[in-house]
């Protein structure tokens, strides 16, 4: 059994009302423990709605969402699910609750009824993990966007969460903040084996994932390893998504009749191919 299982999951906002809006349509998806999955999709594709199902902030209109075997509809399991699946949202300002960094990180464990000494240990540990120990007693509004998001991540870690769901955590950050957040997430995945569900519309970030799920209009339209997803740039464009530079260049060169193999999306790979071509070797794999 997978860690997270979505079975025929549909979500309709304002069901039965005039402004009824289906945000998710019969989604089937499973996420294994220890996986790093990126979810890509244009605005309004349903990716945020999907994220909110993963820790029972939203409940399916139809179908099921199971986390570690627990159905999110079972009201007894809700707190257990939320402890296992931590969330990081888009707006760094609107998810920090306390007026001091360490108090904010303590918020989750306090809600779980963890003893004070143990909370202290977890807060220090979490701050260390996200490299924010220096800022323990800072007021959140004095931190940069990237730092605030790292505090939000630490807040989830202090709950000893197994899985992090990040809903466009970098959409409001500058490039430096973006790389701070992505770097932290990657490290947590690699060093602590934390399961990551990373929602984004930045391609450079999706490349870091083991598996990519593409959503459009409430449907999962494609899923696979990055090579498969970025191997078809035409389709990405059709779903209103950007294409990684190397995939874009490859595609454009192919259209000019160059024999660039399909499925290249990393700059290093494309450079390798171009170097071989320049050397005149015919060992380049054809299409």
Site for other proteins, residues 116 to 135, rule: CB under 8 A? 116, 119-120, 123
Member of 69, 174, 190, 259 binding other proteins (CB under 8 A): 174
Rounding to the nearest 10 degrees, give the CA dihedral for residues 50, 52, 55, 57: -140
Should residue 97 be labelled a site residue for other proteins when binding is judged by CB under 8 A? yes
State yes or no: residue 94 binds other proteins (CB under 8 A). Answer: yes
Q: Is 44 in the site for other proteins (CB under 8 A)?
A: yes
| Six-digit token string for 33 | 């423990």
**Footprint of other proteins on residues 235-274 (CB under 8 A)?**
240-242, 245-246, 248-249, 252-253, 256, 267-268, 270-272, 274
- Residues that bind other proteins (rule: CB under 8 A) add up to a total of 73
Among 34, 70, 107, 222, binds other proteins (CB under 8 A): 107
Ramachandran bin of 113, using left for φ above 0, alpha for ψ from -120 to 50, beta for the remaining angles: left
Piece in contact with other proteins (CB under 8 A), picked from 66-74, 182-190, 221-229, 278-286: 278-286
Structure tokens at 42: 């244009």
The stretch near other proteins (CB under 8 A) out of 26-34, 66-74, 81-89, 207-215 is 81-89
Identity of the residue, 9 or 51, whose beta carbon is nearer to other proteins in the bound complex: 51
**110 sits near other proteins (criterion: CB under 8 A):** yes
The Cβ-side half-sphere exposure at 140, using a 13 Å CA radius, reads 22
By CB under 8 A, residue 99 contacts other proteins: yes
With contact defined as beta carbons under 8 Å apart, do 266 and 207 qualify? yes
Q: Tokens 């820790």 identify what position? A: 55
User: In this complex, which beta carbon is closest to other proteins, that of residue 108 or of residue 226?
Assistant: 108
For the record, the structure tokens of 236 come out as 């990405």
Between helices 175-192 and 145-157, what is the axis angle to 10°?
20
Residue 134: which residues within 8 A CB-CB, separation 6 or more? none
Query: Looking only at residues 1 through 40 of this chain, which bind other proteins when binding is defined by CB under 8 A?
Result: none
Separation CA 157–CA 105 (nearest Å): 9
């Amino acid at each position: 059994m997978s860690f997270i299982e979505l079975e025929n999951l549909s979500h309709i906002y304002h069901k039965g009302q005039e402004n009824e809006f289906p945000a998710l349509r019969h989604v089937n998806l499973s996420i294994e423990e220890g996986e790093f999955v990126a979810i890509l999709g244009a605005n309004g594709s349903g990716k945020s709605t999907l994220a909110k199902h993963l820790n029972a902030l939203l409940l399916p209109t139809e179908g099921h969402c199971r986390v570690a075997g627990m159905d999110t509809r079972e009201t007894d399991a809700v707190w257990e699910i939320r402890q296992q699946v931590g969330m990081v949202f888009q707006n760094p300002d609107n998810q920090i609750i306390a007026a001091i960094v360490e108090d904010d990180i303590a918020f989750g464990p306090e809600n779980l009824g963890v003893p004070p000494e143990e909370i202290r240990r977890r807060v220090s540990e979490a701050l260390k993990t996200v490299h924010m120990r220096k800022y323990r007693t800072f007021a959140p509004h004095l931190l940069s966007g990237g730092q605030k998001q790292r505090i939000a991540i630490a807040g989830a870690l202090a709950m000893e969460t197994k899985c992090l769901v990040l809903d466009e955590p970098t959409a409001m950050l500058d490039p430096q903040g973006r790389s701070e957040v992505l770097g932290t997430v990657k490290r947590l995945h690699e060093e602590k084996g934390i399961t990551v569900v990373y929602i984004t519309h930045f391609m450079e970030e999706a490349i870091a994932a083991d598996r990519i799920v593409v959503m459009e209009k409430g449907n999962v339209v494609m899923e696979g390893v990055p090579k498969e997803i970025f191997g078809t740039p035409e389709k990405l464009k059709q779903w209103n998504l950007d294409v990684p530079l190397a995939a874009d260049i490859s595609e454009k060169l192919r259209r000019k009749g160059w024999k660039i193999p399909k499925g290249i999306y990393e700059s290093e790979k494309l450079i390798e191919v171009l170097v071989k071509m320049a050397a005149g070797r015919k060992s380049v794999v054809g299409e």
